[in-house]
Amino acid sequence: MPSLAASTSSLPAAPLRGGPTDAATARSSLNLLRSLARARRADLSHRALLLFRSLHSTSSPSPSTPPPNFCIPAALSAAAFLGALPEGRQLHALAAKLALSPAHTVVANSLVHLYASCGDPASALALFRRIPEPTLVSWNTAVDALESNGDHLAALDLFREMRRERPDLSPDAYTVQSVLGACAGAGALSLGLYAHAMLLRELGGAGDAGEEAAVSRDVLINNSLVDLYGKCGAVELARQVFDRMPERDLASWNAMVLALANHGRVRDSLDLFRRMTETGNVTPNAITFVAVLSACSHGGLVEEGRRHFAAMVSDYNIRPRIEHYGCMVDILARAGHIEEALDVVAGMSCRPDSVIWRSLLDACCKRNAGLELSEAMAKLALDVPDDAVSGVYVLLSRVYASAQRWNDVGMIRRLMSEEGFKKEPGFSSIEMAGCVHQFVAGDTSHPQSEVIYEKLDEIQQRLTSAGYKPDLSEAPMVADADGTKGATLRLHSERLAISFGLLNATPGAPIRILKNLRVCKDCHTISKLISKLYDVEIVVRDRIRFHHFKDGSCSCKDYW
């Protein structure tokens, strides 16, 4: 992406000259600039930046040049679409020089959007805080800046601040979509239900029927609701929203197919995909087949996975992406077809990433495929530049632990320590009464820590009485000279979250937990037991899928 100082020779007769008046010429130039920026195409956004440069390349612009307070927001929009942070910073400097930032709200809002689009939410929020009189658009842009960059809890906190500090501002559809996205990302179901109620109350027409009708007609908002409920463990609510939609687009179908797949409703997911293809209204795309292949992976449906992968290419002319290959490798490897999975990797049209090699290594670990093959998969995973090196070492240490190769486990532990690799920290969060509580392993920072650990001791006693024995292979990085492994497992973050949930949840209500890593085998085992011993449903969303624990069993049927 050239800088704003690049040549403007590629522009077609810009800026426009020769209009009947300077004002008319200025309007024409501004309209062209805005049209280029709004097109949301890389080539046209590039031209928008070049046009802006040509219009404001001199210190004394002519009367036919549109004012910078109108031009800068359009140029910032183009820079945001391109993710062109250096050019955006030049525009920011110009706005500051002209005293347009943060005093001019439209320019300031555009700058907040720019930094958010370029992956710098801290700068976006700092700019927002400097706006003298933020409008609803300002708040929306700031909330979206946090949500779109993955800081879901901060986005929800900022939304609460808006409601508290500016009761005169009524949320609009943009507010609600950002809040729904943040609730989905945080797994905050009760906050999502509140946002849904707010949606009906403030965005509908006159009367309840009018409100419901107005919301039901908004495809984008309903897609957000399907995504929200799917990601918060309430797949039945997601299905209700989907079934009531009078109009659905491709994103609607994709969201519902994937939600069902992630909740282990594999047959429902594939049946819905078949229904989608039979309607003739939408054509599956690459995202659709990621959802379909995910369903096959979660259900261990090898033959159906093969068939859908082939149909994606032959029937829909979709070239497989790394995500499709990853699903196919996972389907085959977890079912024990490791050689066939390696054949898929060999035939890939793109270079395999570390996720694919880690998937194969994980399958080798779970299928006891042998040390030689496991070590080969680990070497291939480590050869790919990636930030998740520690995850490969942890998987390999589990292979060695399963084979009782404790010297090799110690070697991996020393290697990670010497090279500064740390296992990715896990956390588990649980929402209670609209507040999200987050735990890490061995956490003692929560105000209820004392009673949480007392409850944890009670849980451990009941588990032991029920015949539970810990799976020590799930703590391969911990020495066990003094029984430390078992104690480490007892302090895993999801156990603390379950203990907190048992203490605070309404009797009969499910305990819903979000975990940033894949649930370990030992925690999976104890979650099944706790669901039976305490007669409670536990819903865990981990990095891969949902687990619904009830009456001593899991919706994944122990295949994950």
pLDDT score for 232: 95
- What CA–CA distance (Å, rounded) separates 164 from 555? 40
**Alpha-carbon distance values, 358 to 262, 269, 364, 439, 524 (Å):** 20, 26, 10, 26, 20
Q: What is the pTM of this model?
A: 0.83
- Produce one character per residue of 428-457: b if its CB has 16 or more CB atoms within 10 Å, e if not: bbbbbeeebbbbebebeeeeeeeebbebbe
User: Is 516 domain-assigned?
Assistant: yes
User: Is 274 domain-assigned?
Assistant: no
Using 50, 70 and 90 to split pLDDT, how confident is the model at 383? confident
Q: Where are the beta strands (DSSP E) in 416-482?
A: 427-432, 435-440
Write out pLDDT tens, residues 126-159. 999 999 999 999 999 999 999 999 999 999 999 9
pLDDT score for 202: 72
Residues in a beta bridge with 101: none
Mean pLDDT over 483-511 rounds to 87
- What CA–CA distance (Å, rounded) separates 224 from 211? 17
pLDDT score for 212: 58
Mean pLDDT over 366-385 rounds to 81
CB 554 within 8 A of CB 528: yes
Mean pLDDT over 211-219 rounds to 67
Using the predicted structure, report yes or no on whether residue 303 has a pLDDT greater than 50: yes
Q: How many structural domains comprise the chain?
A: 1
User: Is 105 domain-assigned?
Assistant: no
pLDDT score for 450: 97
What does the block give as tokens for 94?
């110009």
User: Is 166 domain-assigned?
Assistant: no
27-35 contact pairs (CB < 8 A, 24+): 27/66, 29/55, 29/64, 29/65, 29/66, 30/66, 30/70, 30/71, 30/74, 33/66, 33/71, 33/74, 33/75, 34/74
Among the residue ranges 73-77, 184-188, 226-230, 357-361, the one predicted with the least confidence is 357-361
Mean pLDDT over 305-318 rounds to 97
User: Is 261 domain-assigned?
Assistant: no
Using the predicted structure, report yes or no on whether residue 513 has a pLDDT greater than 90: yes
Using 50, 70 and 90 to split pLDDT, how confident is the model at 420? confident
- Other CB atoms within a 10 A radius of the CB of residue 393 amount to 22
pLDDT score for 65: 75
Residue of 45 and 211 predicted with greater confidence: 45
Mean pLDDT over 395-400 rounds to 84
Residues in a beta bridge with 511: 538
Mean pLDDT, the chain, integer: 88
User: Is 537 domain-assigned?
Assistant: yes
Among the residue ranges 327-331, 409-413, 422-426, 512-516, the one predicted with the least confidence is 422-426
User: Is 238 domain-assigned?
Assistant: no
User: Is 478 domain-assigned?
Assistant: yes
pLDDT score for 509: 93
Place of tokens 């943040």: 182
Mean pLDDT over 362-374 rounds to 80
Using the predicted structure, report yes or no on whether residue 118 has a pLDDT greater than 90: yes
Using 50, 70 and 90 to split pLDDT, how confident is the model at 484? low
Write out pLDDT tens, residues 528-542. 999 999 999 999 999
Of all residues in the chain, the percent with pLDDT exceeding 90 is 61
SS3 539: strand
Using 50, 70 and 90 to split pLDDT, how confident is the model at 478? low
Q: Is the dihedral of CA 27, 32, 35, 36 positive or negative?
A: negative
pLDDT score for 398: 82
- Produce one character per residue of 461-489: b if its CB has 16 or more CB atoms within 10 Å, e if not: eebeeeebebbbbbbbbeeeeeeebbebb
Using the predicted structure, report yes or no on whether residue 58 has a pLDDT greater than 90: no
What is the span of the domain harbouring residue 460?
427-554
Place of tokens 């590039």: 46
Mean pLDDT over 338-346 rounds to 93
Using the predicted structure, report yes or no on whether residue 366 has a pLDDT greater than 50: yes
Highest mean pLDDT among 16-25, 268-277, 378-387, 388-397: 268-277
Place of tokens 């305990």: 511
SS3 514: strand
Write out pLDDT tens, residues 242-270. 999 999 999 999 999 999 999 999 999 99
pLDDT score for 66: 76
pLDDT score for 451: 98
